[in-house]
Structure 1
């Protein structure tokens, strides 16, 4: 069975609101401690991956009791557990992927690594979103025109990850851009605000994060 969307639950902060995004048609992958998070919320992941240094033996036993497929990884490896999970997603060829728990926790190295993984997913043709209680992050690659629907988030930021993003036009935001250029290392695209219920971003070249956010 081909799944349209895969949910990857990692070991960072995951709230009930995040878990409510999961539907019965999604394929769920629990990554190490994220597999225990799934169990804590009453969700049995279809697949659990990781070295399970965080989840521990008790979680593994419970996953096995629920007949979850488990792929145990060595602690000494060349990719993170989350990176490995996303290689499994690419093999499945879903239309989209949602990453939960990828921004929380105390490890900023993992936070930056997870943001970087969006680029590989975009290159694989899988629309991938990182969802956090106060942030939703996606990566855009030009040329293209992209539409966003307003939800609970207040701010709409554009952060270049290539040296520059060219031919950038925005519609439906309080401070519009018209065929302009944003540069990595500058902050002009940060903290724009919604003006209408639908926003559009058009870019001719470059890659950027779209970060929708709100305060606590």
Structure 2
């Protein structure tokens, strides 16, 4: 499976991100605009750089310009889509089958919500896309999901309806199971569930779910 990493300009905890990147021997790294700052700090050279570079320091730009073998895509600052969306679509055009976005979350909630919206590109084009930070893995599904306890990212699993409702929802292997439930928007019943069996299953008909696996800072410290 061709795995791509997009390094965006949101919050990145360096130690966590470096560990994630080290876990994939075969990968393609795309720097999206100010995601270049993280890469420069850690002396990581991506295969591709894309952006309008309006939020990148002069020193960082010059550092990368001295590196050989990088493919550059300079965007017009007056554009409709974000640098992250351009990077996602570029990765897919390059044959990506799975994309992990680091730096796609942080204090700018407009960017966070916008990046969650971009997960839908994966549903449209048949590509697995996830937003990943030290505390959360965020994915989107329109046909259910199987979560294995030994592979779970964090203690909690939250299900947020992206569409007005998600019909005939079944949850098996969770602390709080559901059967033939209609999960509607504007409620929090899907928040902070937990996997109790070796394998948990999410099945439903008609709708789209945002699936968030999360962990507290203390739990993260215990694992490190």
The TM-score, its normalising length taken from structure 1, stands at 0.92
Q: CA RMSD in A?
A: 1.4
Contact 1:93/1:126 (8 A) holds in 2: no
Q: Whole-Å Cα distance in 2 between the matches of residues 197 and 214 of structure 1?
A: 18
- Structure 2 regions of 5+ residues with no counterpart? 218-224
Following TM superposition, where does structure 1 have runs of at least 4 consecutive aligned residues deviating by more than 3 angstroms? none
The Cα of 1:36 is off from its aligned counterpart by: 2.1
User: 1:43–1:24: structure 2 CA closer, same or farther, 3 Å change rule?
Assistant: farther
Aligned residue number for residue 99 of structure 2: 97
The TM-score, its normalising length taken from structure 2, stands at 0.89
The Cα of 1:152 is off from its aligned counterpart by: 4.4
- Structure 1 regions of 5+ residues with no counterpart? none
Contact 2:176/2:194 (8 A) holds in 1: yes
- Structure in which a larger fraction of residues adopt helix: 2
Aligned residue number for residue 4 of structure 1: 2
Counting only pairs closer than 5 Å after superposition, residues 59-98 of structure 1 correspond to structure 2 as 59-67=60-68, 68-98=70-100
Count how many residue pairs are aligned between Structure 1 and Structure 2: 211
Contact 2:156/2:194 (8 A) holds in 1: yes
Contact 1:47/1:70 (8 A) holds in 2: yes
The superposition leaves residues 46-87 of structure 1 with CA deviations (integer Å, 9 ceiling, x where unpaired) of: 101111122122212211211222211121111111111111
